Structure 1
């Protein structure tokens, strides 16, 4: 089919379908984009799981709000590249290429403002109250750290690497919260791998312990980024002395409870980043021993560091770190390109079902 989008049941993210995408001409200030290349990762499952409402985005907002009105089905946000096909926005020409946040679809219509040589800001009313970082679209030719040889790894890793880098930066900035060991749940996820890489590059970092499922344990160990790999059912075998921190990329309540019960007051922080185990059973409603979990929100940390270092300083540091990460990304992840609507739907269903091979980065060419 030529023009399509994937619609997801807001109340059950495992229910999704390909539907026709209506064709309309762009209105004043709008531009239409053909989506060229996007990635599907565990991070997108987090977006879907938090589609209805999450305090990260505000008191009454969720990830569905980026591309859906409240009375419409959910439309999954994904990261990648697109090309302008029609434009009624001065400063965006047909053929201009951009990197940013798109729906899982063949095309997207965006309302563009603050159009400049580096990119533009999306200003659809429902999006203006959402975090600004998601509304920025960068011109491909203006990206200082984009290399054509790395192009396929951008949709797979770029936003996830930035999140991992920001978490590592917060740990370094906060003296690792006093921890001598950091436990990483969902350790095979690409954001977790980025975090572990940055910590190892830093040197003199706390000991890193990976929590991994039996399916991903061998890969997680093979990365060489962790000092110990432990199954979720064997948390009592974690080797740790002194204070401990938990960085939770999995959002598995039973595993979180097991870590809290094992370490109690020795746990200095429980930082929640993702919900890749969106369908995991609850670990009980009793209060957790130790610290109350806190959420990590990358756009908030970006805002702080941009204020600390200036926009240019922040961009320079992240660009250098990204280029340093590229050899690791390519070593860890093979690219799996898939084309068309049905392939996109199948890839989404696999991601929700937890069937994505951690050694692979799935790319969709609509």
Structure 2
């Protein structure tokens, strides 16, 4: 069964009972658990622009939102891939997923024709320890934070590689989102610039309590910003009105980077935005660059060590909540879509009997 949403109206959803068909070369994986955050809503918002809907095609007008999860091979018609292996990768929200698989050094990759134009990182399934961690919360925190942390780590690396564009402050919108928190963590670890978190009054105490931002400014108090300082914007919100306001206020804006879309209600074009024009950050491009410069092994070692540190730190500010079964997963989706989930909660979905 697949959880599908209406691509034209994201509040509409359905369960598709079409049974998956296993062919020669395929593997079938039971999805044991998956993470669901505001990032996944961003995938739906940018589904057409970035072809997230093309990851797991569905009949129009329906779409299948990609999620990061752990799946276990329960049937294999591929001589190179054994039953029982546990893999991390992108999945649809489902109980069982079929992959046209090709063996790789880290596990296997999806070689279905409709995946041909997608970056390798989006098609890879990485072999994991056969059993989940003895501490389920640690396993779940890693699942929740791995993908979004890597994105933020790469943003930080990109900015540092560009000498922060000469800026001494980085303004991060949607400061309570986990992707923003991960970026603040990376910036603080690097110590090259200050991180200013922009947030709402509702989330102010949480953001300040993280201790990761050098300053926290409310959306309705933007006059408190140092508007003369050389600045970079990293926009996780996708709020076009806010972005236009920031561009107009900042006298020395060096670079504007668009990453996410947590503010769904304000995504429409707000008209002309003062220079510099915002540029969309595409993580696979930075991965490819560093893989060529450092080698994939060194890149993975550096990202892995940084992720481990961030996951350990997250224990102090994030509580894991597991939603098991159809009804709970549908509620998980709707509450995230509505922006009703506390930033202090990390949500895991389960559609099999594995947990």
TM-score by length of 1: 0.91
The alignment partner of 2:316 has SS state of helix
Q: CA 1:281 to 1:171, structure 2 compared with 1: closer, same or farther past 3 Å? A: closer
Distance (Å, rounded) in 1 between the aligned partners of 2:20 and 2:46? 30
Q: Which whole-Å deviations, capped at 9, do the CAs of 1:286-345 have from their partners, x for residues lacking one?
A: x21230000101111101000110011111111111122122121121100110111111
* Residues 255 and 283 in structure 1, CA contact (< 8 A), matched pair in contact too: no
Q: Specify every segment of 5 or more residues in structure 2 that has no aligned partner in the other structure, as ranges.
A: none
The answer to whether the aligner puts 1:166 opposite 2:163 as a matched pair is no
The aligned counterpart of 1:277 is 263
Distance (Å, rounded) in 1 between the aligned partners of 2:316 and 2:134? 17
Q: Which whole-Å deviations, capped at 9, do the CAs of 1:140-166 have from their partners, x for residues lacking one?
A: 0399xx965431112210011101111
* Residues 181 and 241 in structure 1, CA contact (< 8 A), matched pair in contact too: no
Q: Specify every segment of 5 or more residues in structure 1 that has no aligned partner in the other structure, as ranges.
A: 55-61
TM-score by length of 2: 0.94
Distance (Å, rounded) in 1 between the aligned partners of 2:296 and 2:338? 39
Match for residue 46 of structure 1 among 42, 48, 52: 42
* 1:69 to partner: Cα distance: 4.5
* Residues 91 and 116 in structure 1, CA contact (< 8 A), matched pair in contact too: no
* Residues 228 and 250 in structure 2, CA contact (< 8 A), matched pair in contact too: no
* 1:126 to partner: Cα distance: 0.8
* 1:128 to partner: Cα distance: 1.0
Match for residue 140 of structure 1 among 107, 114, 128: 128
* Residues 45 and 352 in structure 1, CA contact (< 8 A), matched pair in contact too: yes
Q: Alpha carbon RMSD of aligned pairs, Å?
A: 1.8
Distance (Å, rounded) in 1 between the aligned partners of 2:168 and 2:104? 46
Match for residue 220 of structure 1 among 192, 207, 230: 207
The answer to whether the aligner puts 1:92 opposite 2:78 as a matched pair is no
Q: CA 1:148 to 1:140, structure 2 compared with 1: closer, same or farther past 3 Å? A: farther
Distance (Å, rounded) in 1 between the aligned partners of 2:161 and 2:348? 34
Q: Which whole-Å deviations, capped at 9, do the CAs of 1:91-150 have from their partners, x for residues lacking one?
A: 22221110000001111111101x14620010111111111110000010399xx96543
The answer to whether the aligner puts 1:245 opposite 2:229 as a matched pair is no
* Residues 30 and 87 in structure 1, CA contact (< 8 A), matched pair in contact too: yes
| Total equivalences in the alignment | 349
The aligned counterpart of 1:332 is 317
* Residues 71 and 86 in structure 2, CA contact (< 8 A), matched pair in contact too: yes
Match for residue 210 of structure 1 among 191, 194, 197: 197
Q: CA 1:281 to 1:93, structure 2 compared with 1: closer, same or farther past 3 Å? A: closer
The answer to whether the aligner puts 1:16 opposite 2:9 as a matched pair is no
Distance (Å, rounded) in 2 between the aligned partners of 1:23 and 1:260? 50
The answer to whether the aligner puts 1:187 opposite 2:175 as a matched pair is yes
The aligned counterpart of 1:59 is none
The aligned counterpart of 2:294 is 309
Please list, as runs of the form range in 1=range in 2, the aligned pairs for 1:257-296 lying within 5 A after superposition.
257-264=244-251, 266-280=252-266, 282=268, 284-285=270-271, 287-296=272-281
Distance (Å, rounded) in 1 between the aligned partners of 2:170 and 2:20? 51
Q: CA 1:168 to 1:117, structure 2 compared with 1: closer, same or farther past 3 Å? A: closer
The aligned counterpart of 1:108 is 97
